Amino acid sequence: MLAGPAFSYFDGEVVAGEGMVNQASMTGESLLVEKRAGTAVFASTIVEEGEIRISVKAVGGETRVNKIVSLIDRSQELKAASQVRAERIADRLVRYNFLLAGLTFLTTRNFAKAASTLLVDYSCAMKLSAPICVLSAMRDSAKCGIMAKGGKYLEELAKADTFIFDKTGTLTESMPKVSAVIPFGNRTENEVLKLAACLEEHFPHSLARAVVREAADRGIDHIEEHAKVDYVLAHGIASSLGEEKLRIGSAHFIFDDEKIKCPKEAEKVISEYSETGSSLLYFSIGDELAGIIVIDDPIREESVKAVARLRALGVKNIVMITGDGENTARIIAKKAGIDKYISQALPDSKVEYIKKMQAEGHKVVMVGDGINDAPALSVADVGIAMGAASQIASQTADILLPDNGLDSLPELRLIGLKLMERIRGNNAMIIGINTSLIALGLAGTISSSTAALLHNGSTVAISMSAMRPLIPNIEN
């Protein structure tokens, strides 16, 4: 038996009772979820209100939360450290330097000409300029407030064609907010909100805090005039003002339990907002519906811009994956400009989807912030955590964004692209210059010492050029 507030240490099924459960750690949902007989509950979730009796299905290492930990451990083993492409090219070219020197000596019997092919090589310039380019990229990232745990992740980010976003706390603010107050019966919005806040301030759940916050933002003082406030298990709040009953809570509580009639104008409102993925609080005074309070988890302002800029920077697939229901997922994806979404996804579902995309040949970037995102962050080619991410998500991720989050994500992609562009450009320059010096040395146009001097001078010049900011107008 668990009574709120209580923490669940096992997976199971509700066999009796009713309660409101915070399961954000597993699904990322920002609002409490009602649990009744026949519904599943998970370890690491919290019964914030009500009382439920659970039939235990899994404990210890068999619970989903422990499977998250094992998923993270296994995926870390799969991430082999990638070598900088320039170093691989340089290593391959060394053998040709020696081969050319041997052939030159055999054909010309001129030791000076053979030596000139060894004095001018490709490897030192490539192996010096490439790490400097990576350090420049990491410096530019730091100036944007981004912390990359290694240059290889910036390279992988540039190659990525698929970005997967969590919803709650990533695309949305993860802070429920009142988006509308619809009064009935000649009442005003502020009158409804004043009494609703007066009742809700007695309870600390997320919807109640949203109502109280909205009243404070509107400057509404709600002096307590009502009688004792009673919490009705997993339904809502009951009190009275004078001789009139006050009720606020779910549709089931107001219409089924309290037998409040739903006016036609309210039916239209309910129908309209049921398509938006919003949560509705119903408030009644006496035997009448006094108002409906609409609560949303608002989308971040920067989400739409970030998604559009990523598309412009060559990202072909942008997907939102969330533990929320189908309707909410569809609405948020549409607002963010994302064509594909996956709803009602648990942590292992996210991992399976990423592995499926990787098996199809895609380079995948995962962006998230919660404990439930950690396995996906770990198994993706690049895991990116938001600035206010949970500790386990931050530790698992390869890159950490600043507090402004998605604003800096397109900049990060651009830095990765510029990094690869500069490394390729430097490599082409190194091969071109040094090949020319070797040819001039073999032709006898320049001496071995001159070739060596020009080779070393070009190496220094290219390395100094590699230090330049990848994005010239980046803030200091």
Strand-pairing partners, residue 341, are: 320
Give the whole-angstrom CA distance, residue 126 versus residue 431.
9
- In three-state form (DSSP H/G/I as H, E/B as E, the rest C), the secondary structure along 317-361 is EEEEECCCCHHHHHHHHHHHCCCEEECCCCHHHHHHHHHHHHHCC
H or E segment to which residue 384 belongs: strand 382-385
Q: What is the DSSP string of 78-122?
A: H-PPPPPHHHHHHHHHHHHHHHHHHHHHHHH--HHHHHHHHHS-S
Reduced to 3 states (helix: H, G, I; strand: E, B; else coil), residue 388 is: coil
Residue type, 157: L
Instruction: Output the CA–CA distances (angstroms, integers) from residue 362 to 63, 134, 159, 175, 399, in the order listed.
Output: 31, 23, 9, 33, 19
Looking up tokens 């996956």, which residue turns up? 342
166 is catalytic: yes
H or E segment to which residue 267 belongs: helix 264-274
Residue type, 306: A
Instruction: Report, in angstroms and rounded to the nearest whole number, the Rg of the chain calculated over CA atoms.
Output: 31
Single out the catalytic residue among 11, 121, 140, 166: 166
Reduced to 3 states (helix: H, G, I; strand: E, B; else coil), residue 222 is: coil
Give the whole-angstrom CA distance, residue 323 versus residue 379.
18
Catalytic positions are: 166
